[in-house]
Each structure stands twice: as structure tokens, then as C-alpha cells.
Amino acid sequence: MSKPRPVMIAETRAKLLAAARLAFGTVGYAQSSMDDFTAGAGLTRGALYHHFGDKKGLLQAVIQELDAEMTARLHSVSSRAPTRWEGFVDECVAYIQMALEPEIQRIMFRDGPAVLGDISQWPSTNGCIAALSRSLSQLKADGAIIDVDEEATARLINGASSHAALWIANSEAPQETSQRAVEAFRVLLERLKRPDADTVKARATISTTGS
């Protein structure tokens, strides 16, 4: 019994994505050929053109898949933190540190910008900025950070973290660069924290307990 067409389409797309991701993550975009993708997936060039248009479109799809996985991992990191503020910091730092991972380093922060252009102009960036803005709004409501323009601050944090990741990915000493970037980034974020944040938190806890 043959599979339903939607299932076959999804399987074909998944095979091409997996083959391309393996190639991009190991030999890189420039050294990968469409014949490699199709042969690895047991498919034809026609299937690749139909689903992704061309090699560049395939790279975009691989980056979208990687980005979704990174986002899920970052949410998991923040959810394990004892406070919203610590979760926010941990999530930002984890994003920077992901630039040390070979696959992410090559695809997201080296070949991606080289082929698709400035990372700040990628479609996913607006979603990241919006998420950062929401987090900052929640932190303000908690009394954890000073009064700041949420969108402006979100854009600056996004730009700083992206630039740090690019710096690490293109560094001759990525481990050392990552350590320096994370230390400096923590200092920057710490300036957002209210000096009396712990006192405000304690008062809120007492108020909640007593009500």
C-alpha cells in the first residue's frame, strides 16, 4: 500500500534536509554540491528544486531547522533557572556559547552570513527581538531590572549576542574568545539589574506569603 502524498512529500523534504545539513556541517556550503545532497538522500535534482528552489534555499531551510532546535534548547536552559532574571542571563549566555559547537558554528555563524548576508537582517531576528522584549517587560514587572526602553534594549542585546557568536565562530582561538565574550556580556547584562532587586523580590515574597 502506497503512502499518502503528503507523507511522501514530507519524507522527501526531510531526507534532503538531513543530507544537506550533514554536508553543510562537515565540508561546508562552498564545498557541497547538489549532487551530493540528492545522492545521499537517494533522490533527484528535480526533487531538490521542487522543495527548495536551489542550494541557497536549501541552506535557508537548514538554518531554520537549526534555529528552531536552538530556540527549544535555550527555552529549556531558562526554564531550569531559579529566577526569571537568572534564566534570562543563562539563556543569553547559552546562545553565545553555542557558537562553539561545530555544526552551529559552521552553518549558522560562518556560512550562513557569508551566503545569506547580515544575520541581523534574517527573518528570524525580528522574532528573537520580540521574545527579548517580552522577557524584559516581565523582568521590569518583577522589579528585577531598571526602567529601560524594552525594544531598544532587546535590539542591543540581540546585536551584542549575535556579534559575540560571530566573533567566536571566526576566531582562531574560539574557546578563549568564548570565555572573554561571555564574561564581558555578563557585565553588560548586570548593568540592567536594579541595585535593590533582591530587596524588591524579598518584599514581594513577604507580601505574597502574608496575603
How many residues does the structure list for the chain? 211
Residue 2 DSSP one-character state: P
Instruction: Quote the cell numbers at residue 32.
Output: 557541497
Q: What is the DSSP string of 10-46?
A: HHHHHHHHHHHHHHHHHT-TTT--HHHHHHHHT--HH
pLDDT of residue 204: 44
Instruction: Quote the cell numbers at residue 105.
Output: 558554528
pLDDT of residue 196: 83
Terminal C-alpha separation, the chain:
64
Residues 137, 36 share a domain: no
pLDDT of residue 198: 65
Residue 1 DSSP one-character state: -
Work out the pLDDT band at 73, boundaries 50, 70, 90. Answer: very high
Work out the pLDDT band at 38, boundaries 50, 70, 90. Answer: confident
pLDDT of residue 24: 94
pLDDT of residue 199: 55
The tens digit of pLDDT for each residue in 91-134 reads 999 999 999 999 999 999 999 999 999 999 999 999 999 999 99
What is the CATH number for 41? Answer: 1.10.10.60
Q: Name which of 102, 99, 90 is nearest 27 in CA terms.
A: 102
Structural domain ending residue among the three candidates 53, 72, 95 = 53
Q: How many domains does the chain have?
A: 2
User: Average pLDDT for residues 139-167, to the nearest whole number?
Assistant: 97
Q: How far from the centroid of its chain's Cα atoms is residue 85's Cα?
A: 19
Alpha-carbon distance values, 21 to 46, 58, 100 (Å): 19, 9, 17
Residues 72, 46 share a domain: no
pLDDT at 210 over 50: no
User: Average pLDDT for residues 60-77, to the nearest whole number?
Assistant: 96
pLDDT of residue 202: 45
What is the CATH number for 172? Answer: 1.10.357.10
pLDDT of residue 2: 67
Angle of helix 84-97 versus helix 150-169 axis, rounded to 10 = 30
pLDDT of residue 139: 97
The residue that leads in pLDDT, 51 or 200, is 51
- Number of neighbouring beta carbons within 10 Å of residue 164: 23
Residues 92, 43 share a domain: no
The residue that leads in pLDDT, 109 or 50, is 109
pLDDT of residue 46: 72
- Please give the residue range of the domain that contains residue 140: 56-195
Residues 135, 44 share a domain: no
